[in-house]
Structure 1
Amino acid sequence: MSWSIEIDTNTCIGSGMCAGVAPDHFELVEGYSKTLQDRSEPSEEVVDAAESCPVEAILVKEVATGKVVAPEE
């Protein structure tokens, strides 16, 4: 199973929480979040990063099913 990681660039405020929580998956570029990879193996760090985003700009989904993994609604 793999996950897709999407960042809504219109929503991102560049808090850096994602890069702090999951530095292997996110970085800040010119003050905004960027994924290091568009896909990832399931990882608690990725979920934690999406859940910690203050504006919920990160969306994590299962590639095969499209089911949203994080953030939880």
Structure 2
Amino acid sequence: MDAVIFATGYRANLDFLRGTGALDRQGEPVQRLGVSRTVSGLYFVGLSGQRALASATLRGAGQDAAVVVRHLVR
């Protein structure tokens, strides 16, 4: 399995995904619970409001990562 982990820092900066179909017109990821709805094999962790109010915090990102990993294992 190949993987790329890209950390953008304290604020999401997903401009590098423009033109891939992964973002909506406002530049927000088209995703549900961290799984891209438009690009197969693309996942997100740590987005504001991804799964819970705490998703963009260290505490919430860990729980969101667990959801993404469960999806990958399937």
Q: Which one has the bigger helix percentage?
A: 2
Calculate the TM-score normalised by the size of structure 2.
0.30
Q: Which one has the bigger strand percentage?
A: 1
Calculate the TM-score normalised by the size of structure 1.
0.30
Relative contact order (C-alpha < 8 Å, sep 6+): which is higher?
1
Compare CA radii of gyration and give the structure with the larger one.
Answer: 2
